Structure 1
Amino acid sequence: MPPTHPFAANPLKTKADLQQACISLLAPLAAHTSPGGARIRLGFTGTHYDEVAAQLEGFSRPLWGLSALLAGGYPADQFPEAENWRRGLESGTDPAGEEFWGYSRAKDQRMVEMAAIGYSLAIAPEQLWAPLSDKGKKDLAEWLGAINDKEMPDTNWLWFRVFANLGLAKVGAPHSDERMKADLDHLDTFYLGDGWSRDGPEGVRQLDYYSSSYAIHYAQLVYSKLAADSDPKRCAEYRARGSRFAVDFVHYFDEQGRAIPFGRSMTYRFAMAAFWGALAFADVQPPAPLSWGVIKGLLLRNLRWWSKQEIFNADGTMPIGFVFPNMYMTENYNSPGSPYWCMKAFIPLSLPETHPFWASPEEPYPQSLPLTVALDHPSHIVTRLGGHTFLLSSGQACHYPLRHTAEKYGKFAYSSAFGFCVPTGSFELEQHAADSMLALSDDGAGERWRVRRIALDARIEVDDGVPVLRSGWKPWPDVEVETWLYPPSARAPNWHWRVHRLKTGRKLQGADGGFAIYGQEKSGRALPPFLPETGEGRIEGGVGALAASSAGVSAVLDMSPSHPRTGTVVNVDANANIMATRSVLPTLMSHHEPGDEVWLVTAVFAIPSKEGAEGAPDGWLKAWEVPPALPPSVKARVH
């Protein structure tokens, strides 16, 4: 067994702890750094962009953490490897040098990596700019400035050009105020209100972690501090947006510190919580019921949770994946250096010990927050009922070809405890891995399945005082599905409901899946038929399906009024789930004839294990065996 990574043994409670955690992630990169320091090669997998850009990514992304570390007063001589990045800034931008990164072209990955460099120059100029030679400064300024006349994607990428210019401005180098203002003006058109921004122009419905921690809100907050004197009105607006957004974003985290996996770029890991550090960096007074202690806890608990996951190679570097190395769930822009976007979470290291973020005692997750909230802009209903934090979703979709786009945006539910699955292939349900989805097949053999990617006319309605998420779907021209998603109630906290009205002009098979769950018993073998004395196993057949393991319980129950379905537990392909290497999926199977118009009602049951415990809490079996009555509004709808 390799030695325990220092990050895993770190208590992650103080600034000194976080400094050591940052160093423990940076130090292993030295063995993979080129002689001139400009390229870091961490693996051999490819991306849609060139290899030089991939190795630039390996160099630049750690700078999000290193520059904050140095800006916050950590002595450079106590981390001598920092010199690699200073040398790399010179060798990577020297057009005549062997390690030259190349000037950016239109829509070039180099543009993305300029953001970390511009940010680093802005917050740590004495450590990373001042030591450069005159030629090095000139080359770096020209390399960054080359972004200003190139076409960029109409997305959060525009922030990368803002930061390239902002960094140059902060060190007194040539830059374009006009370009920066034009980009900021356009980025502001992405704003929807109530703190939320979409990741693109009008018509784009994509409000994932790029809208918060990865890019947009993070960038707005950083800009609001660094440009407060030159652009005060805009900076004040960004601070107000951050304050308002925090009140919604807190619902995406649970008491353990986990964030709900949703959308793309999950390999960025604890960058999901970087917004909280950026809020502190911008000195935004936390809005009630949040406080500095709560903000601190949200970030540090997230880091502590990640420190217990299998996220390190034997040499101390981070692989592509989520809680374990995994290529199935990646995007075509994930290089071996991509995971180091997570270093954005270290931004509080730039703050002094006297800042209220560090000076305040850490506080737990605020219990005064509502247990269930409906968030109109992202089209999410988020709840903490049932022992885990999860969201119901309809309406979002990536606006360009993205690997597993339906699974990252189109599922009915996403959970901080159970994660989500992506397909490993396209043959039968085991490979399709359609958790929290209705999958339909028209091939007669159940080999190929379609799932929802685009939710039509998605909106949140109120039904008997309860928020309900309603949407449509047309998998084929002669097939229509309308779906209503109902959150759990205080009387039945472990159950939520989905209602489908299916009209079909062709013969179909249907598979309605619950949450995928770890599918091995304590011995490490596959789950056997359920044994009450051990609390482990699977139940299938009849009108329901259940799987119980050390991860808790997941089940589905058919409550359709007139079209009965059969329960089965699908053995999901290994590594399809982003949180469990071996998982199973309780599923309801149905058959439909041409001309059918039927109501399908699914009761989804889930209880995750508690932190530090194995299996669901005592009493769960009775809760499963005595399901609650359908909500009155559901009864009224389907009868």
Structure 2
Amino acid sequence: MATTVDPTLAGTVSFFSSPPTHFSSNPLLTKSDLAQFLKDLLDPLAAYTSPGGSRIHLGYTGTHYDDVAAQLEGFARPLWGLASLLKGGGTYEGSKRWVDGLKNGVDSASPEFWGYMRDKDQRMVECSPIGFFLASCPKETWGSYTEEEKGKLEEWLNVMNRKEMPNTNWLWFRVFANLGLKKAGSTKYNADRMKADLDHLDTFYIGKGWSRDGPEGVVQLDYYSSSFAIQFAQLVYSKLMREEDPVRSEEYRNRAVRFALDFVHYFDEEGRAIPFGRSMVYRFAMSSFWGALAYADVDLPAPLTWGIIKGLLLRNLRYWARQAPGAYNKDGTLTIGFNYPNMNLTENYNSPGSVYWCCKAFIPLALDDNHPFWTAQEEAYPDVLKGTVKLLKNPLHIASNLGGHTFILSSGQQCSYPVKQSAAKYGKLAYSSAFGYSVPVGSLTLEELGGDNTLALSDDEGETWKCRRETREARIEEGAGWLRSMWYPWKGVEVETWLIPPRKENPLWHLRIHRIRTRRDLISAEGGFAIYGQGKDGRALNPLSVGSGGDSENEGTVEDGPVARATSSAGVSGVAAVETNAKRKGKAMRMDANTNLIEPRTILPTLMGTHGASEEDHWLVTAVFALPQSAFGLHASWLKEWEKKPAGIEGVLKSVMKGN
């Protein structure tokens, strides 16, 4: 949960910190609770809906596509939730707005016409929730339209079958357009096109449940490979087409079983998912995979049970229900951002309506009341998965929740096309469920860079900085249990990195080893985890010196030679240079506001170093400490854990150097 200031200490701040009670007071324990959460999200949209219901206009920020497509997004994406609610026997007084809006939006004679699709048109994306709406609620939609209205809907959706689409998860949107028509009762869907798309999508599969977001050569395996698109779509398809396409449907359920055993490691005991990759504005869509498992009636693999699956989803939704006011405007609509409004985070395809992709998380509403997902008692995060480190080969991640901190070490992923801040979204060394990640807000200072969990390099005395964006030769070396990769920031400069996960004897520390070979003079800045940077009085954390509070558990920042640390109500974050004869200096750096996804004001413990052009290798060994506030109760003293800083690393270095 984002840190808020004690209103007794912050005066008028309490006015802005009061969350809407209709979100935060919802216990989100039952099906009716979940339905109420959805209705509370849908109700505010009425004020922004066009007279014919076809467009929802939530704001004026721009996207790479046109305004009409953005308003179609606002209309279509809530359908993931509304369709699920109606399918499961629920009711919503405002549902007629969407039923009418669909018929008016596809009518070329209507003033609210969406326009026909062109090649690679954003309108294609919205065919996915529209198809799900038709398939889930044929009586309310198709069955309520006249023959002329049905014909216009068929015509509008079928345009997609003749247009070029991106060679990515987008192909699923065309599958859903045809599937929706088929399930609604139309005979004018394109079965051949649907099969061809499915056959091609299956070439993205790389084993053990994982799919790339594109053909061979694409290395994105983020939430689009799971909850946002591919896994979710496979599970919905397997439910809707179980009888007509039993072999493929069974294969999709089998993939989900294998995938679930990896994906569970991206969630923590508090319900938070690890922010990673693009489209973080979709928020609790990250947990929609768990609801889709229930929707598709998957036979769960041990140790997962329906009680555990229920807990994974509902805890995530409870977390997001508490993220007010930042995640919500005062009228209850969602903001563009993560825990607070943040345009620095967005991609150029994020309109104010984009964020309602989160409505995928409401798919359990489509289940009968007696489904085991709803009859099961909610269970906590499984004990057998606590205190573990897992090597995740396909996404090139190492997941750890030792010591109560859930995070991944990461190498080897990058976006296959231009995406704003892609180095931050894919190239960082670590990503945390508690501390999130940061994005640049400028290009000329370290404060603007948001360089958490990066090794940033400058070859112009700190005027500009480069971070890892494109990773090469990444692999998990299983015998050693570490992640190894290369990065080439400039001609004549190469960086090799080993990421070593925590161990049970010092569970809150992980190690990073970097070998820099350079023919130019460099400055380095290596950041740990960015942490909430305000004190209990709501003001900036005070610096502490060793001997006057800096060697205690007091809140504040510490800079002590090759060490930097920050302690606040959000927890503790620190870095220490532990290479032989370390010359790097620790700095507790105050980041520019709004760099971090979770906290708008952060401190970043950072190590600064200089590395001259040389024929010799520069070796950096960094110990990184992180303890979220939620795990304080697991440790008698965080300072005792801090004192377990990895030492005697010569053996590790020798092993690393031996492998070269």
The bucket for the TM-score relative to the shorter chain is over 0.9
**TM-score, normalised with respect to structure 1:** 0.97
CA deviations on 1:143-190 (whole Å, 9 max, x unpaired) are: 111100100000000000000000001122111000000000000000
The 10-residue stretch of structure 1 (523-532 or 419-428) with the greater mean CA deviation from structure 2: 523-532
CA deviations on 1:269-321 (whole Å, 9 max, x unpaired) are: 00000000000000001110000111111100100111111311011100110
Residue type of the alignment partner of 1:467: G
2:301 pairs with one of 287, 294, 305: 287
CA deviations on 1:24-74 (whole Å, 9 max, x unpaired) are: 111110000000000000111010000000000000000000010011101
2:360 pairs with one of 321, 326, 344: 344
**TM-score, normalised with respect to structure 2:** 0.94
The one of the two structures with greater contact order (alpha-carbon pairs below 8 A, sep at least 6) is: 2
1:149 pairs with one of 157, 162, 172: 162
Residues 1:34 and 2:54 aligned together: no
CA deviations on 1:96-149 (whole Å, 9 max, x unpaired) are: 110000010000000000100001100111122211222221111111111001
Matched-pair identity in %: 60
Q: Which residue of 2 aligns with 1:500?
A: 514
Q: Which residue of 1 aligns with 2:128?
A: 115
CA separation in 1, counterparts of 2:413 and 2:653?
Answer: 28
CA, structure 1 residues 5+57, in 2 after alignment: closer, same or farther (shift >3 Å)?
Answer: farther
CA, structure 1 residues 590+534, in 2 after alignment: closer, same or farther (shift >3 Å)?
Answer: closer
Q: Is the 8 A contact 1:441 1:508 kept in 2?
A: yes
Q: Which residue of 2 aligns with 1:608?
A: 628
CA separation in 1, counterparts of 2:419 and 2:19?
Answer: 37
Q: Which residue of 2 aligns with 1:124?
A: 137
Q: Is the 8 A contact 1:386 1:606 kept in 2?
A: no
Q: Is the 8 A contact 1:469 1:485 kept in 2?
A: yes
Q: How does 1:99-498 map to 2 (within 5 A)?
A: 99-173=112-186, 174-310=188-324, 311-369=327-385, 371-444=388-461, 446-463=462-479, 466-498=480-512
Q: Is the 8 A contact 2:553 2:638 kept in 1?
A: no
Shift of residue 479, structure 1, vs aligned partner: 0.5
Q: Which residue of 2 aligns with 1:627?
A: 645
CA, structure 1 residues 630+307, in 2 after alignment: closer, same or farther (shift >3 Å)?
Answer: farther
CA, structure 1 residues 215+91, in 2 after alignment: closer, same or farther (shift >3 Å)?
Answer: same
CA separation in 2, counterparts of 1:591 and 1:557?
Answer: 16
Root-mean-square deviation (Å): 1.5
Q: How does 1:65-84 map to 2 (within 5 A)?
A: 65-75=81-91, 79-84=92-97
CA separation in 2, counterparts of 1:124 and 1:38?
Answer: 18
Residue type of the alignment partner of 2:155: E
CA separation in 2, counterparts of 1:378 and 1:524?
Answer: 39
Shift of residue 588, structure 1, vs aligned partner: 0.5
Residue type of the alignment partner of 2:218: V
CA deviations on 1:381-414 (whole Å, 9 max, x unpaired) are: 0000132110000000000000000100010000
SS at 2:369's partner residue?
A: coil
1:98 pairs with one of 94, 107, 111: 111
CA, structure 1 residues 372+625, in 2 after alignment: closer, same or farther (shift >3 Å)?
Answer: closer
Shift of residue 632, structure 1, vs aligned partner: 6.0
CA separation in 1, counterparts of 2:575 and 2:50?
Answer: 53
Q: Is the 8 A contact 1:286 1:295 kept in 2?
A: no
CA separation in 2, counterparts of 1:341 and 1:380?
Answer: 26
CA, structure 1 residues 549+616, in 2 after alignment: closer, same or farther (shift >3 Å)?
Answer: farther
The 10-residue stretch of structure 1 (483-492 or 617-626) with the greater mean CA deviation from structure 2: 617-626
Q: How does 1:568-607 map to 2 (within 5 A)?
A: 568-595=587-614, 596-607=616-627
Residue type of the alignment partner of 2:534: Q
Residue type of the alignment partner of 1:221: L
The 10-residue stretch of structure 1 (318-327 or 55-64) with the greater mean CA deviation from structure 2: 318-327
Shift of residue 369, structure 1, vs aligned partner: 2.2
Shift of residue 616, structure 1, vs aligned partner: 9.6
Which stretches in structure 2 are left out of the alignment for 5+ residues? 1-14
Q: Is the 8 A contact 2:553 2:639 kept in 1?
A: no
SS at 1:126's partner residue?
A: coil
Residues 1:54 and 2:70 aligned together: yes
Q: Is the 8 A contact 1:468 1:484 kept in 2?
A: yes
CA separation in 2, counterparts of 1:469 and 1:569?
Answer: 27
CA, structure 1 residues 185+527, in 2 after alignment: closer, same or farther (shift >3 Å)?
Answer: same
CA deviations on 1:348-373 (whole Å, 9 max, x unpaired) are: 10101110100111111111126110
CA deviations on 1:562-605 (whole Å, 9 max, x unpaired) are: 45211001111101000111001001000011115211000001
Residue type of the alignment partner of 1:273: S
The 10-residue stretch of structure 1 (130-139 or 336-345) with the greater mean CA deviation from structure 2: 130-139
SS at 2:554's partner residue?
A: coil
CA separation in 2, counterparts of 1:277 and 1:599?
Answer: 46
Residue type of the alignment partner of 2:473: D
CA separation in 2, counterparts of 1:295 and 1:130?
Answer: 35
Residue type of the alignment partner of 2:145: L
Shift of residue 229, structure 1, vs aligned partner: 1.4
Q: Is the 8 A contact 2:506 2:644 kept in 1?
A: no
CA deviations on 1:308-352 (whole Å, 9 max, x unpaired) are: 113110111001100111111110000000110000000010101
Q: Is the 8 A contact 1:86 1:132 kept in 2?
A: no
SS at 2:239's partner residue?
A: helix
SS at 2:383's partner residue?
A: coil
Which stretches in structure 1 are left out of the alignment for 5+ residues? none
Shift of residue 541, structure 1, vs aligned partner: 3.7
Q: Is the 8 A contact 2:522 2:611 kept in 1?
A: yes
Shift of residue 439, structure 1, vs aligned partner: 0.2
CA, structure 1 residues 323+34, in 2 after alignment: closer, same or farther (shift >3 Å)?
Answer: same
CA separation in 2, counterparts of 1:630 and 1:131?
Answer: 73
CA deviations on 1:212-254 (whole Å, 9 max, x unpaired) are: 0000000000000101111111111001001111111111101
